[in-house]
């Protein structure tokens, strides 16, 4: 039975991915900072789900992660780097620098450090799959997307560069790039707990759901080992790549 490690499993995409992959027959290790949420998930998913508390910005916690995983949840066949966040939507000249630091430490530093720890064993076994959760924000600029979009552009290029270093190895890498997705805590986190502002983002919009993302990952994992999707961009029908804008009297 294949074993999957999902970061950011306590809500949103990560939670839906764990639910879908356990239903598909995988054994899933779910990590996040909020252990109570992971324990709740374990109650519904049972023994095929192993909850582990992990802050991906904590390098020493990542160093010790392997010791917390019992032998029956090893080796890790699939790493899904999903933990991530956007903080703030202010223009770059007014943004809170500590928000920027948190996004870089989580979306970039956490993702690369965990990948660096897990990848060597996959290479030794000549088998494995890393799925990174990027975003359309890494490709298309939008107002207030400044550092968040830049972290996701990093994730996109890192994914392509990883596959390049893996030339000749049967280890797969995919960067998944979703557009607007509701039913997660993404905007509640972005707006620092202003839940009214967060819910207004999704009002009257037929958005992508976490189940859509989980189903996509389930499909990727169902594909044969010779098949690699490098990048995969998806949006709700309600969203399109917007055109360039021009301001008058600047």
Ligand X SMILES: NC(=O)c1ccc[n+]([C@@H]2O[C@H](COP(=O)([O-])OP(=O)(O)OC[C@H]3O[C@@H](n4cnc5c(N)ncnc54)[C@H](OP(=O)(O)O)[C@@H]3O)[C@@H](O)[C@H]2O)c1
Residues designated catalytic: 148
14 versus 88: smaller Cβ distance to ligand X: 14
Contact range with ligand X by CB under 6 A, out of 6-14, 69-77, 227-235, 242-250: 6-14
Least distance (Å) from ligand X to the CB of residue 241?
14
> Is residue 180 part of the contact set for ligand X (CB under 6 A)?
yes
**CB nearer to ligand X: pick between 123 and 189:** 189
Q: Count the Cβ atoms, other than its own, within 10 Å of residue 210.
A: 22
| CA dist., res. 20 & res. 82, Å (int) | 15
Judged by CB, which is closer to ligand X: 108, or 119? 108
CA distance 8 to 49: 14
Q: How many CA atoms lie within 13 A of 62 on its CB side?
A: 18
**Cα–Cα distance for residue pair 91/246, rounded to 1 Å:** 17
By CB under 6 A, is residue 82 in contact with ligand X? yes
Q: Which is nearer to ligand X, 170 or 234 (CB)?
A: 234
Give the total of residues touching ligand X (CB under 6 A).
30
Binding of residue 184 to ligand X (CB under 6 A): yes
Q: Which is nearer to ligand X, 14 or 145 (CB)?
A: 14
201 binds ligand X (CB under 6 A): no
Segment 210 to 229, residues that bind ligand X, using CB under 6 A: none
76 burial level (CB within 10 Å; 0-12, 13-18, 19+) = buried
First to last CA, the chain: 60
Burial 170-206 (b: 16+ CB within 10 A, else e): ebbbbbbbbbbbbbbbbbbbbbeeeeeebeebbeeee
To the nearest 10°, the Cα dihedral for 49, 103, 230, 238?
A: 90
Q: Is 159 in the site for ligand X (CB under 6 A)?
A: no
Q: Which of 4, 14, 76, 147 lies at the binding interface for ligand X (CB under 6 A)?
A: 14
**Site residues for ligand X, window 88-117 (CB under 6 A)?**
106
Q: Is the preceding omega at residue 40 within 30 degrees of 0, hence cis?
A: no
> What whole-number distance in Å separates Cα of residue 180 and Cα of residue 135?
9
Among 19, 51, 57, 159, binds ligand X (CB under 6 A): 57
Tell whether residue 133 is a contact of ligand X (CB under 6 A). yes
d(CA 212, CA 225): 23
Q: Does 56 bind ligand X (CB under 6 A)?
A: yes
Q: Does 189 sit near ligand X (CB under 6 A)?
A: yes
Q: Which of 24, 101, 185, 212 binds ligand X (CB under 6 A)?
A: 185
* Residues in touch with ligand X (CB under 6 A): 7-14, 32-34, 37, 54-57, 82-85, 106, 133, 135, 178, 180-181, 184-186, 189
């Amino acid at each position: 039975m294949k074993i999957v490690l999902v970061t950011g499993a306590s809500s949103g995409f990560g939670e839906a991915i764990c639910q879908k992959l356990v239903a598909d027959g995988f054994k899933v290790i779910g990590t996040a900072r909020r252990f109570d949420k992971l324990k709740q998930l374990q109650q519904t998913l049972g023994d095929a789900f192993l909850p582990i508390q992990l802050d991906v910005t904590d390098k020493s916690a990542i160093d010790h992660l392997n010791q917390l995983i019992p032998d029956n949840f090893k080796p890790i066949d699939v790493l899904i780097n999903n933990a991530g966040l956007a903080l703030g939507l202010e223009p770059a000249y007014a943004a809170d620098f500590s928000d920027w630091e948190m996004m870089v430490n989580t979306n970039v530093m956490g993702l690369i450090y965990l990948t660096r720890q897990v990848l060597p064993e996959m290479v030794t076994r000549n088998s494995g799959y890393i799925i990174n959760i990027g975003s359309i924000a890494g490709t298309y600029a939008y107002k207030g997307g400044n550092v968040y979009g830049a972290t996701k552009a990093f994730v996109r290029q890192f994914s392509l560069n990883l596959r390049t270093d893996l030339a000749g190895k049967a280890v797969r890498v995919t960067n998944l790039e979703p557009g607007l997705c509701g039913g997660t805590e993404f905007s509640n986190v972005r707006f620092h707990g202003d839940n009214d502002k967060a819910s207004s983002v999704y009002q009257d919009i037929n958005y992508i759901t976490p189940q859509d993302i989980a189903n996509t990952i389930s499909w990727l994992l169902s594909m044969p080992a010779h098949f690699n999707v490098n990048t995969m961009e998806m949006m709700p029908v309600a969203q399109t790549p917007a055109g360039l804008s021009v301001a008058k009297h600047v």
